Amino acid sequence: MNMLNLKLQGPGQLGTAVYDDVRAFTTKLKLWKNQISRGTLTHFPVCKSLVEELGSEIQFSGSEYMTKLDLLLQEFDQQFADVRKHEESFSMFANPFSVDVKTAPCDLQMELIDMQRNRSLKIKFRETKDVTEFFRQLPPSFPNLCKTFRKIMSLFASTYICEKLFSTMNINKSKY
């Protein structure tokens, strides 16, 4: 949890990247739950060392851990239910050249076809290190895609900006 928390902090993060981190973490939770149910403690070094140290004196039961992992998974599902609705848009943002046009929103289909068949845009997308820079440079012939991508880029990925503002306000309100 601490590692995920650190990943989610800081300025300049896209909402799509944060959502990918959260999805990766929930996948890890599912893996850990599965492994604990089988008694595999590879990712739980403290438990593993205790079991190895005590040997036959202790029988490891992962039921309590599985219950906690289930509760954590449920909490993540509830917290990110609204964001999950935008998963298709996030995929399109991550790589518009691999999206199946038939499943894309109707108002974006024609522009997606034009974009996917444009070799110079494909090359530019592959060469661009920052996906936001690619979308900022899209020609005006893609107005609906530009609008959609601007919405996605404007999603707040973290509360960093708000927290920074409150810290600044606290400094201003102090005796200094």
Domains in the chain, number: 2
Q: Which stretch, 18-27, 57-66, 155-164, has highest mean pLDDT?
A: 18-27
- Work out the pLDDT band at 7, boundaries 50, 70, 90: confident
Collapsing DSSP to helix, strand or coil, 101 comes out as: helix
Torsion of CA 21, 26, 30, 36, to 10 degrees: 80
Note down the domain range covering 114: 101-176
Q: Is 99:112 a contact under the CB 8 Å cutoff?
A: yes
- The pLDDT value recorded for residue 175 is 66
Whether pLDDT at 164 is above 80:
no
Instruction: Let me know whether 78 and 122 are in one domain.
Output: no
Q: What is the C-alpha to C-alpha distance for residues 75 and 81, in angstroms, rounded to an integer?
A: 10
- Work out the pLDDT band at 176, boundaries 50, 70, 90: low
Domain-terminating residue out of 20, 53, 84: 84
Question: Encoding tokens for residue 148?
Answer: 């959609």
Residue 60 lies in a domain: yes
Question: Encoding tokens for residue 153?
Answer: 């880029």
Instruction: Let me know whether 25 and 77 are in one domain.
Output: yes
Give the model confidence (pLDDT) of 102-141 as tens digits: 999 999 999 999 999 999 999 999 998 888 889 888 999 9
- The pLDDT value recorded for residue 156 is 65
Q: Is 41:47 a contact under the CB 8 Å cutoff?
A: yes
Instruction: Let me know whether 129 and 162 are in one domain.
Output: yes
Q: Which stretch, 23-37, 39-53, 147-161, has highest mean pLDDT?
A: 23-37
Question: Encoding tokens for residue 14?
Answer: 């896209």
Give residue 173's identity as a one-letter amino acid code: K
Instruction: Let me know whether 58 and 122 are in one domain.
Output: no
Which one, of 16, 167, 135, lies nearest residue 87 by Cα? Answer: 16
Give the model confidence (pLDDT) of 147-161 as tens digits: 998 888 877 655 666
- Angle among Cα 49, 55, 56 to the nearest 5 degrees reads 150
- Work out the pLDDT band at 38, boundaries 50, 70, 90: confident
